[in-house]
Amino acid sequence: MIVTSYKFRLYPTKIQESKLEDTIEICRTLYNDFIFESHLAYKEGYKIKFDELQRMIPAMIPKDKIYSKVAQMAFWQFYNNLKTLSALAKRGKRTGKMRFKPKTRYNSINYNQSGFKFLPNGKIKFSKIGKIKCVIHREIQGKIKEIIIKKELTEDWYAIVVCENEITSTCSLFRKKIVGIDVGINNFTYDSDNHSIKYPQFFRKSEKKLKRSQRKLSKKINNSNNRWKQKLNLSRIHQKIKNQRNDFLHKTSRYYVDNYDTIFVEDLRIQNMQKNHHLAKSILDSSWNLFFQKLEYKAVNAGILFRKISPHNTSQKCSRCNKLVKKSLAQRTHSCPFCDIVINRDYNASLNIKQKGIDSLPVGYREVTPLERIPLTMI
Ligand SMILES: [Zn+2]
């Protein structure tokens, strides 16, 4: 099973919006009530049980104002968090008590399996809320498991539709097109076909906007109306960056999945990624991971092979003669003193990633993968 989620913008009416806000508030109160109950029981030296808590729900929520399953999910959320905490404590980790959720930290409700219906006019009907206008810009594939309605900091509403897909497709044995992809600071991707995808301009533009907005915010007086407005402005910029980035990552991953049937990338967890407080860098870091996630699920959906390989020496090794050629980050060219090849540094890395990927395949796979060891185009 593979889980995919889609995020769609919701346009509730004023009345629906206030109903949504009420529901969130009921769930938050419920969540906090459960924390209170469990703290109380703990003080009395009593371990409260799952069904005991669950039985309390009807008495804790206002009748007819909330879809009962939504309240159940708030309880589930509480119970899961409690379980996670106690599991951590059992493993000897220092854990505090569960903390009450303030209004600012509780902003979603969960319709699990029922209570929602997609209508032909583009609306989604939510039980106890109504028919909310929704922009469904992508086709939903798979079986819908749940819809999470979320209010972002920008005060916009979104529906996160979570689906499950069966993995039906299998990888074909006869690989045709294999690619190794290097991600980096100079180009977003550089691949073993000597093709690169640049960072979109908005990374830099948005960074400037963010900085300006943050600077303005720091000058506003605490708790003032202007500060609140500026905060909203900042959240909107964050949201916009998120949307733009998502769009770019979808397109980039789509390109590779449409053009290749085996994709190799570096496992970035192993690589010692430098922690950098520079904003642009932090956007990039998270982009690479998101990019791989998108590549992975698209690859699974399309029945093609996606694999992460160890990044050890991929940038230092010569892709033609396999000798180590040490170079600093600033050196953009791979110039091998042993075999005289001169190519782009990232291109060299992507060729190594491709070769490492092929080496990681079972022998039967490898036999049907003729590989050009020598890059065709040189710079
Ligand atoms: Zn060489």
Span 90-109, pLDDT tens digits: 877 777 788 899 998 899 99
Pairing of the two strands 262-266 and 178-183: parallel
Task: Judge if 142 and 188 occupy the same domain.
Answer: no
Distance 368 CA to ligand 1 centre (A): 25
Q: What is the pLDDT at residue 366?
A: 52
Task: Judge if 261 and 325 occupy the same domain.
Answer: yes
Distance 328 CA to ligand 1 centre (A): 17
Distance 191 CA to ligand 1 centre (A): 19
List the 262-266 sheet strands across, edge first. Answer: 196-197, 189-191, 178-183, 262-266, 305-309
Contact yes or no for 149/157 (Cβ under 8 A): yes
Specify the DSSP element, H or E, that contains 228: helix 225-259
Distance 323 CA to ligand 1 centre (A): 6
Residue 135 has pLDDT above 50, yes or no: yes
User: Which tokens hold the place of 283?
Assistant: 């956007």
Indicate left, alpha or beta for 322 from its phi (over 0: left) and psi (-120 to 50: alpha). left
Distance 371 CA to ligand 1 centre (A): 17
Distance 181 CA to ligand 1 centre (A): 20
Domain stops at, among 103, 132, 165: 165
Domain stops at, among 165, 195, 216: 165
Q: What is the pLDDT at residue 379?
A: 35
Residue 287 has pLDDT above 90, yes or no: no
Distance 365 CA to ligand 1 centre (A): 26
Residue 78 lies in a domain: yes
CATH of the domain at 273: 3.30.420
Residue 19 has pLDDT above 70, yes or no: yes
C-alpha distances out from residue 79 to 22, 75, 98, Å: 22, 6, 11
Give the number of other Cβ atoms within 10 Å of residue 285's Cβ. Answer: 15
Domain stops at, among 165, 192, 215: 165
Distance 194 CA to ligand 1 centre (A): 17
Distance 271 CA to ligand 1 centre (A): 23
Residue 40 lies in a domain: yes
Distance 1 CA to ligand 1 centre (A): 44
Cα 211 to its chain centre, rounded Å, is 24
Distance 342 CA to ligand 1 centre (A): 9
> Which of 347, 343, 323 has its CA nearest to residue 333?
343
> Which of 228, 275, 240, 94 has its CA nearest to residue 156?
240
**Surrounding residues of ion ligand 1, Cβ less than 5 A:** 318, 320-321, 336, 338-339
Distance 326 CA to ligand 1 centre (A): 12
The residue ranking higher by pLDDT, 371 or 94, is 94
Cα 4 to its chain centre, rounded Å, is 11
Distance 333 CA to ligand 1 centre (A): 13
Task: Judge if 189 and 281 occupy the same domain.
Answer: yes
Distance 336 CA to ligand 1 centre (A): 5
Distance 180 CA to ligand 1 centre (A): 18
For 9, phi then psi, to 5°, come to -75, 135
Task: Judge if 90 and 191 occupy the same domain.
Answer: no
Distance 355 CA to ligand 1 centre (A): 15
CA atoms in the 13 A half-sphere facing the CB of 259: 13
Contact yes or no for 201/244 (Cβ under 8 A): no
C-alpha distances out from residue 115 to 8, 28, 42, 85, 110, Å: 18, 19, 35, 30, 10
Q: What is the pLDDT at residue 285?
A: 61
Distance 324 CA to ligand 1 centre (A): 8
| 3-class secondary structure, 212 | helix
The residue ranking higher by pLDDT, 139 or 114, is 114
Task: Judge if 135 and 101 occupy the same domain.
Answer: yes
Q: How many residues does the chain have?
A: 379
Indicate left, alpha or beta for 23 from its phi (over 0: left) and psi (-120 to 50: alpha). alpha
Distance 272 CA to ligand 1 centre (A): 25
Residue 149 has pLDDT above 90, yes or no: yes
Residue 139 lies in a domain: yes
Residues spanned by the domain of 141? 2-165
Task: Judge if 360 and 222 occupy the same domain.
Answer: yes
pLDDT 10s digits, 179-223: 999 998 778 899 999 999 988 877 678 778 888 888 888 888 888
Mean residue pLDDT of the chain comes to: 84
Q: What is the pLDDT at residue 205?
A: 80
Task: Judge if 160 and 201 occupy the same domain.
Answer: no
Distance 330 CA to ligand 1 centre (A): 19
Residue 379 lies in a domain: no
Number of domains composing the chain: 2
Task: Judge if 188 and 296 occupy the same domain.
Answer: yes
